[in-house]
Amino acid sequence: MSALCRTALVAALAVGAFTVGATGMPAQSAGNPARGRQVYERYCIQCHGARADGAGEVARWSQPKPRDFRQGVFKFSSTPYGFLPTTADLERVIQNGLYGTRMPPFAALSTRERRDVIAYLQSLSERWRTEGPGTPIAVTEEPAPTRESVTQGRELFEANCAKCHGDGTGNGPSAVKGLVDDWGSPITPANLMLGRGKWAHTARDIYIRAMGGINGTPMPESTGSLTPEQVWQIAHYVQALGAWSGSTRELRQLAAGLPRPSAVLP
Ligand code: HEC
Ligand code: HEC
């Protein structure tokens, strides 16, 4: 290649890179997808499958099924409903696993291996070529829970969450009728009494889930319909249902001693 030609190529690449940044298009993992494929073939293929369709050997013993990566749909993103997750969101899932499912924590992978496998996952769906990740949901400063706010949280839970989560155990009327996820499998609302979700640990996590919903499942987003203050009230009420990280005995006693919610009063 002549020097002139090379200069033109470098310039074209620079323009290309600039355009990508300027239009806010895919800000993908800095990892190497070819190396990531090797990580995938070693540690992920038995569940997520050779075709990344979630149909690996272990899939038949897995409920829910391992994720099919071809649609680019991810449940536990910090971004609003319908948006792609950030690289940090994918890192969190790979690092911590999904509690109570077959998805194991891969804390022993090096940072480079995690980045590489994420870059590989991001090559598996067309979505990553045409869309960037969403902007993470803004989380306002967490207020301290009070008797009033938790009482309010309980009312809001009845109005917004109970049709699926019921009394907190996941026995709401919609759950009893039967819910199905986007991949066609039955899915049950989380038992919030367990004090831990697949992904959520803290009030902040509950806040993000309540705001953003869970992609690929019937759990809706609340952005628009609830204020940040109301979402904190719900998050603290949920935290008071079980031994979530940050939940205190006082908080649980407070919630247990509340009068029955007005929604179910005659
Ligand atoms: C033993 C089975 C198993 C192995 C091995 C496994 N996974 Fe998973 N993975 C699952 C299951 C099951 C789910 C779906 C959980 C759910 O939908 O609740 C999942 C979901 C995921 C998700 C989706 C998270 C979201 O927010 O929707 C990602 C990303 C993921 N796995 C990455 C990986 C990577 C990377 C590896 C290898 C380093 C891997 N998994 C290995 C079983 C596995
Ligand atoms: C239409 C039904 C529906 C409604 C309404 C609903 N959820 Fe859910 N929720 C679900 C389902 C289904 C899951 C399980 C998703 C999964 O396991 O992949 C879930 C899971 C959760 C989880 C666990 C997340 C994790 O890390 O595993 C939390 C927390 C949660 N919901 C909170 C709420 C709150 C708070 C509200 C009200 C603002 C609410 N949900 C409204 C259906 C619903």
| Domain match, 110 and 165 both | no
* Tokens read off for 105: 């924590």
CB 213 within 8 Å of CB 132:
no
Residues with Cβ < 8 Å from 17, sequence gap 6 or more?
none
Q: Is 99 in the pocket of ligand 1 (CB under 6 A)?
A: no
* Tokens read off for 29: 């993992």
Q: How confident is the model at residue 262 (pLDDT cuts 50, 70, 90)?
A: low
Residue 63 sits at φ, ψ, to 5 deg, of -135, 110
Mean pLDDT, all residues of the chain: 89
User: Residue with the nearest Cα to atom 16 of ligand 1?
Assistant: 64
Q: Which pLDDT belongs to residue 249?
A: 94
Q: Is 190 in the pocket of ligand 2 (CB under 6 A)?
A: yes
Residues in the chain, total = 266
| Domain match, 34 and 116 both | yes
Residue 15 counted as domain residue: no
Of 5-19, 68-82, 106-120, the one with minimum mean pLDDT is 5-19
User: Residue with the nearest Cα to atom 37 of ligand 2?
Assistant: 161
Q: How many domains would you assign to the chain?
A: 2
Percent of the chain with pLDDT over 90: 83
**Could you say which of 102, 130, 158 is where a domain stops?**
130
| Domain match, 72 and 120 both | yes
How does pLDDT run across 34-89, given as a tens digit for each residue? 999 999 999 999 999 999 999 999 999 999 999 999 999 999 999 999 999 999 99
Is the confidence at residue 1, as pLDDT, over 80? no
The Å distance, Cα 66 to ligand 1 centre, comes to 5
| Domain match, 151 and 258 both | yes
Residue 87 counted as domain residue: yes
Q: Give the number of the ligand closest to the Cα of residue 29.
A: 1
Q: Is 127 in the pocket of ligand 1 (CB under 6 A)?
A: no
| Domain match, 260 and 167 both | yes
| Residue 92 CB burial class (10 angstroms; 0-12, 13-18, ≥19) | middle
Q: How confident is the model at residue 259 (pLDDT cuts 50, 70, 90)?
A: confident
**Rounded (5°) CA angle 55-56-61:** 85
What gap in Å lies between CA 34 and CA 204, rounded to an integer? 35
Q: Quote the distance between the C-alpha of residue 89 and its chain's center.
A: 7
User: Residue with the nearest Cα to atom 32 of ligand 2?
Assistant: 210
User: Residue with the nearest Cα to atom 41 of ligand 2?
Assistant: 161
Nearest-atom number in ligand 2 for the CA of 187 is 12
How does pLDDT run across 83-94, given as a tens digit for each residue? 999 999 999 999
- At 84 the three-state DSSP class reads strand
**Could you say which of 75, 101, 130 is where a domain stops?**
130
Q: Is 189 in the pocket of ligand 2 (CB under 6 A)?
A: yes
Average pLDDT for 132-154: 95
Best substitution site from 164, 231, 234 to test ligand 2's pocket, by max atoms within 8 Å of Cβ?
164
What gap in Å lies between CA 120 and CA 92, rounded to an integer? 16
* Backbone CA torsion sign across 237, 242, 245, 246: positive
Instruction: List the one residue out of 103, 133, 130 whose CA is nearest residue 29.
Output: 133
Neighbours of 187 (CB within 10 A): 19
Per the structure, the complete domain to which residue 124 belongs is given by: 27-130
pTM: 0.90
Residue 257 counted as domain residue: yes
| Domain match, 177 and 260 both | yes
| Domain match, 163 and 255 both | yes
b/e code 148-163 from CB counts within 10 Å (16+ = b): ebbbbbbbbbbebbbe
| Domain match, 123 and 175 both | no
**Could you say which of 130, 156, 183 is where a domain stops?**
130
Q: Is 235 in the pocket of ligand 1 (CB under 6 A)?
A: no
* Tokens read off for 143: 């207020």
CATH value at residue 70: 1.10.760.10
Q: Which pLDDT belongs to residue 224?
A: 84
Nearest-atom number in ligand 1 for the CA of 77 is 26
Residue 89 counted as domain residue: yes
What gap in Å lies between CA 96 and CA 91, rounded to an integer? 8
